[in-house]
Amino acid sequence: MGVLSSQDESDLLDEADEPTSEHELSEERIHTCVSKFFGMLDRVVTVLRVYPRHHPVIDSVTQQAVNRLQEVLDAGRPVTVELTPSQVLSEWGEEVFSREMSESERFIWYKPNSDGLRFLTFRPGLDAADLQQLMQVVTAIDSGEVGSDDDTITLLWEKQLDTIAYRSVDTFVDSETIEEFNQRTSKEVVDMVVEAAIEPDGESGQEIDRIFEHVGIDCLDWFTAERVGQSFLTKPIAASEDDLAFALSVTENLVGSLYTEWHSGSLLEFRFIEALLSVIRTSPTSLAAEHARMVIEKMTVEMLDKEMYAAALHVLRLLQTRTEMFERADENPIEAVFASASEPERVEGLLWQLQKSDSPEPMRELLTLLDADAVQRRTLAMLSSDDTELAHPERLIELLVEVTDESNADAIRADEHLANEPFLERLLDCIPPERLADWAPAQKVVVAAIATGKLALQRKALELDFVGWADMTLARSTLFPLIDHHEQDIRTRTYELLGQYQPQVLQERLRRLLEGGELGKKPMGEIRFLMQTFVEAHPSHLDELRNQLDTRGWFGEANAKCAKAAARILLEKGDAKARATIEALSNSLLTAPGLKDAYKRLLQSHAANGGA
């Protein structure tokens, strides 16, 4: 059924039955060796990209990879693995390698798998030269350094490797459907179906109408049913694995047409994406469903990589609304599309585009549709680098806030970010004020900025209107120590915040300052601010401040600053009792001469400004 192999398939089956040595290895040991082998192949790709071909470093690293598998091969048995879009599986179906296990956080086998590569077999006597040629193909495919007519299967066939075998599934329709298509090749069928999706009334669409004129409707998926003039179907038809789904693939030469159709605002997505989704819904675990999902994935990431962002956004919106179709399924195939679109390098490219764009909102929406954790990781990395010049950090901050909730807030709460001053500074500068109250990491960020001891960060943190200060425990541990800060502006802002969120605590603190004599040690401007704050907190505080003027300790020079500040505030408040008290003190023998003169000047100034 369209299966290709580097040799006759029966030979591969014969190899699997070859006798092993008397030293049988356990599954666990084989799993470990194979996992290390594929980890080493990641390094082979790295050196292939860095060093010219035939460099001794490449030979050395390739041989080290062979050595990782030697124990299994020496036991006399071949090693066969299965490739999926995101994993390498052992012959027992267990994961031996994945993108998460890669040192470069890339799954180099994804594109070869997309080309149809499904199984690799490494034979006893594995030759380092064969392995190097295999990895040259994988590297070229992964980096896009091949011609438009080449793919993984074609390049491997040309290599004619002796110690490595492979099996692949090509894009195809089954033999009966091929017959209905008048013996057309698979590629011809692919192009005809896709062109019909783009232009339903065109030549290809009319040809499909003719071909399927006498085919039973129960054999067709939604897309094909629409093509033969049937009415819209509200639920998927029971399609077999051998239906037209295998023909729904996109070749590079058609991407431009697809983009034009999407951009024009017509309903291509309902003629094409919905066709693929109907195949997946009909038989989620079938090969047809896997193929349909891979087609959607390929289309989406290709549009992103070709910077067709408007079209990609349109597709991702559509897929987002269709996720509910798979809520009760064991697996949601659409998640794989979003995961592929969210690969680190792709996300980083989109983040740079977000900063460059003259209309950033569509790009921001596109990023919010991707995997939130992946977007968060790359955004954090970009914001945390003091070597990176950002054109619009505020756009990254807005996005970071959008993709971070309680489920992934710990990433921001991690010490590596909370101790990173460039990150904290950018975040405090740009965080939307309206999100401070409900953003999960907000408290940790504000507290961390104050804890750095850096004046610039402390000032930025205190300027935020952070409602978390209403929590007594948080205020006591973070705000209270700042009351005695060596910088006046920080002390002043701390008092303002306490007055707003912890008024009772502030009042008690000010009362102790007034009564304890510590207030006189502060600058005059700060003394007036604190007294003003105290008086405005409660009507009875005016009496307390007036009575303080009669305190014996306030008659001398020691508390002259406090006495003058209190007198000025009381006169500005228009307190008649305070005016009488100040007049008496300005003529009292008990009042220090300098303070008496100050009282008289205040009274004269107050009268000149219209005071009674």
Closest C-alpha to 378, from 407, 356, 353, 406: 353
Q: Say whether pLDDT at 341 is over 90.
A: yes
Cβ neighbors of 455 (< 8 A, separation 6 or more) are 487, 490
Task: Give percent of the chain with pLDDT exceeding 90.
Answer: 25
pTM: 0.51
Q: How far apart are CA 438 and CA 400, in angstroms?
A: 14
pLDDT of residue 448 exceeding 90, the answer is yes
Record the tokens describing residue 553, joined without a space: 């300790």
Give the other-Cβ count within 10 Å of 6's Cβ. 20
> Which residues are 164's β-sheet partners?
122
Q: What span, in angstroms and rounded, lies between the C-alpha atoms of 296 and 177?
A: 22
Question: Which of 145-149, 180-184, 398-402, 599-603 has the least mean pLDDT?
Answer: 180-184
What pLDDT score was predicted for residue 224? 44
Mean pLDDT of 357-378: 94
Kind of pairing between the strands at 117-122 and 164-169: antiparallel
Q: What are the residues whose beta carbons fall under 8 Å from the beta carbon of 364, sequence distance 6 or more?
A: 354, 395, 398, 399, 402
- The region that residue 390 occupies, defined by phi over 0 for left and psi between -120 and 50 for alpha, beta otherwise, is beta
Taking Cα atoms as reference points, which of 453, 359, 354 lies closest to residue 394?
354
Judged against a pLDDT cut of 90, whether residue 563 lies above it is answered with: no
- pLDDT for res 210: 64
Gap between the Cα atoms of 148 and 131, Å rounded? 24
- According to DSSP, the residues that pair with 4 across neighbouring strands are 168
For residues 269-290, average pLDDT: 64
Q: State pLDDT tens for residues 21-72.
A: 445 678 888 999 999 999 999 899 888 888 887 788 899 999 999 999 998 9
Angle, CA 380 vertex, CA 379 and CA 386 arms, to 5°: 105
- Residue 283 has a pLDDT of 62
CA atoms within 13 A on the CB side of 569: 27
Which has more pLDDT, 241 or 332? 332
For the chain, what are the domain ranges? 27-168, 175-212, 233-432, 517-610
400-412 as b/e: b if 16+ CB within 10 A: bbbbbeeebbeeb
In this prediction, residue 157 has a pLDDT band, given cuts at 50, 70 and 90, of confident
The proportion of the chain whose per-residue pLDDT surpasses 70, expressed as a percent, equals 75
pLDDT tens digits, 169-217: 543 333 343 344 445 554 565 566 667 666 666 787 677 666 555 433 3
Cβ atoms of 223 and 248 within 8 Å: the answer is yes
